[in-house]
Amino acid sequence: MPSMVSANRFINTVAIPLVIVAYGVFLWLDHVHANQVSASYNNQVPASRDHMQRIQKMGGIDGLLFGGSNAVYSLSAEFLTRSMGIKWYNASLINELGTIERHKNFIRELSARIDRTRVRYVVYSSIDPFEMRAIAGHQTEAVARSESRDTVGIDIEPKISALEYIRHQPFRHLEFPERDSFGDIVFENETCNFTAEQLVKHEREDEDISAEFLVDYANFFTSLFPNAAILIVLPSEYRGAFFDDSRFEQTLRTKFYSALKANYSENTIKIIFQPPYSSITQVCDRPFHANEDGRFWRTRNLIELMRAVVRIVPSATAQSAADHPKMPSSHR
């Protein structure tokens, strides 16, 4: 009996307080990590800095990918490089840095670190022309969009399990999400869990607003990259049930080219509409975020559409790769 009393006393005075303290420390670490993720998701300051460092190491750049999280998850600079035989880099950022002004400042700074006259292709892929009020949201400093993951206070339930902390060591990867030397997302540390039960929005922004927004970006890229073909891309997304987007696409295409004529440029400027993902198995965590299979499919589709609208003369090695495409090394 005395030994049982001692055991109970030990549990009440030592073991339980230790567990409570340990869990409190774990919640604090989880809160710090969640805030790092939130700051990286909304501001992407570490990510933009990492882009600058990586692109300087690459030397000359022939093709650049810009845009938001759809391009982060769903386009591969590595696959474009292997297929076309020229050097591509994925400089897309989650939420496009929150505002148009911040995003353009990032692009200006990045362009100042490379030979801009060498760049042959610029791809800008954004979901903003699709989503209602997204463009207006990016015209202000208030970043209150669906991609925001701000956290206030410390929750009693952690955002990530202890096992996932041990497995992925998130504090070692302050860039969110982790990117490789091509600027492509590293899917090894990503959790893809999109399900059919999640809401898929079937709504579109006003075509005049979208056209004005895209023409502004097209002219902006033209001013920075004088020898590049500027490709404005409306990205693939998973739409669930049948959704006829043909009227929106045709109207936006017409308004885009009409507005472009008023600001004529000698650059090749084209607008491309990529088809929707045919299966939910191609999506990661949002309708416009591809998983690794979806990224391979969408990037290959983009190359096919590029060939239809701009003149591409690949090297012999690149032509062979295009005829017999292989997945990037990260996918194998």
pLDDT of residue 59: 81
Q: How confident is the model at residue 96 (pLDDT cuts 50, 70, 90)?
A: very high
Domain that holds residue 307: 2-331
Q: What is the pLDDT of residues 37-65, one digit of tens each?
A: 444 444 455 567 888 889 888 888 999 99
Q: What is the CATH number of the domain that holds 262?
A: 3.40.50.1110
Q: Residue 195 has what pLDDT?
A: 84
C-alpha 31/C-alpha 29 separation (Å) is: 5
pLDDT tens per residue across span 235-278? 999 987 777 889 999 999 999 999 987 666 556 899 999 999 99
**107, 68, 25: which is closest to 234 by C-alpha?**
68
At residue 83 the predicted structure's pLDDT band, cuts being 50, 70 and 90, is: very high
What is the pLDDT confidence band of residue 210, given thresholds at 50, 70 and 90? very high
Residues 6+ apart with CB under 8 A from 271: 214, 232, 233, 234, 252, 253, 256, 257
Q: What is the domain count for the chain?
A: 1
What are the distances in angstroms from CA 145 to CA 41, 91, 135?
11, 21, 11
- Contact assessment for residue 37 and residue 190, using Cβ atoms and an 8 Å cutoff: no
Cα 315 to Cα 86: distance, rounded to the nearest angstrom = 8
pLDDT, tens digit, for every residue of 101-159?
999 999 999 999 999 999 999 999 999 999 988 999 887 654 444 444 444 455 555 55
Q: What is the tens place of the pLDDT at every residue in 281-318?
A: 999 999 999 999 999 999 999 999 999 998 776 544 44
Residue 323 has pLDDT above 80, yes or no: no
Between 321 and 131, the more confident residue is: 131
Most confident of 11-15, 26-30, 136-140, 192-196: 192-196
